[in-house]
Amino acid sequence: SPEEVAQAVAYDASFISYFLLDFDFNNDRYTSYMKDNGLKYPQTLIQYIVDQQGQTDLTKALDAFPFTQFRTYITAFPWYNSLLGKGSITEFKVPGDFTAAPEASAVPVVEATPSATVSDTVTFTSNNLNSQARSLEGSSSTRPTNSVS
């Protein structure tokens, strides 16, 4: 539901922002680990990166974020727990994690709003993300629908 997505965005935004910066800065570490362990980029994540080129509003961009596929991807890295701490969360949550149990539906849900610094920190124009998307777009059997500029 849109409410669950909003809660996941509010909860995970600082972690995703930190991951994007870490991925950009430590790109060789990520790609080397992926190659050595036979990991592949999730197609939905590649498509998401292509679709978000130039987006500067992280909160708006995260409305379409592939949370489930990203969680599967990011938890494969041995430094995942360290990233959680840097992103100020204890676990990466997907929208379904915010589904209220029927007996708990009377409890109000407080939605957090990511700080302005989070949305100001990351843009989807990182050279490494762009080059990764380009190389993956060319090698993927299912090509993204938008081209990378």
pLDDT tens for 64-113 read: 899 999 999 999 999 999 999 988 899 999 999 998 755 544 444 444 44
Of 134, 142, 143, 132, the residue nearest 24 (C-alpha): 132
pLDDT band at 116 (very low <50, low <70, confident <90, very high): very low
Secondary element (H or E) of residue 116: helix 116-121
Tokens 């050279």, residue located: 127
**0.85 exceeded by the pTM?**
no
Whole-number pLDDT of residue 111: 47
